[in-house]
Amino acid sequence: MIEGVTVPGLARMPVAISGSWYSPSRRLWEGRATAEQPIVAVAFVRCEQHVEWGLSWRFDEPDLKTAVSFSGHEDGAFVQVVFGISGGGARWTSTLPSHTYRPAIPAAATVETGTVSLLARIGGTPAIDLMGLFIAKGDTKGGRKHIWHIRTCFRDTLPPLLKRPLTYGRSGFFEDQECAPLAGAL
């Protein structure tokens, strides 16, 4: 299961996440993830065993924009759930309990770099988990077009589920075979 997976050897520091729903009429939660030094992140969207992922941009900033949005269809309950962290993200579709549904996303939370953390659960059909992995920028190496990867010295200790997201490409998906199907909302 990807939630709670830790990458050995990475720098550890707290990341404060804060945010709120944009307005009653818009289905948009906006927030910030802030650390003491520059960070990067991987946004994960998990639906049952399927996990989509996307890398954030790699800037010299200790503050990353974070957002959750519901792009509605005609009835408003069938939506595309989009989760993004600083330019990188993933999405999946779900039918929400109602067109006014908003999941309980904490106004403030603290997670630690180097560990995959559950940030929110969307209680639709199917249920969707939104997770993030924050990493100190110094533990990464930059490439063209702000694509980053984990430094070579950490690659041998990477948990199998995180090898591809942390060593290849800007986005992708994998199957989390150890994960049980999700049941409802948090």
**DSSP alpha helices (H): ranges in 78-122?**
none
pTM: 0.91
Map out the domains of the chain as residue ranges.
14-164
**Measured between alpha carbons, how far is 180 from 151 in angstroms, rounded to an integer?**
31
> Cis before residue 106, ω within 30 degrees of 0?
no
Mean pLDDT of 150-156: 94
Residue 52 predicted with pLDDT over 70: yes
What digits encode the pLDDT tens for the residues 98-119?
A: 888 888 888 999 999 999 999 9
Residue 77 predicted with pLDDT over 90: no
Sign of the Cα torsion 108, 41, 146, 150 reads positive
**Measured between alpha carbons, how far is 141 from 74 in angstroms, rounded to an integer?**
43
Exposure string of 96-128, with b = 16+ CB inside 10 Å and e = fewer, is beeeebebebeeebebebbbbbbbbbbbbeebb
Between the two ends of the chain, the Cα-to-Cα distance in Å is 17
pLDDT at position 179, please? 56
Supply 17's token pair: 């996440």
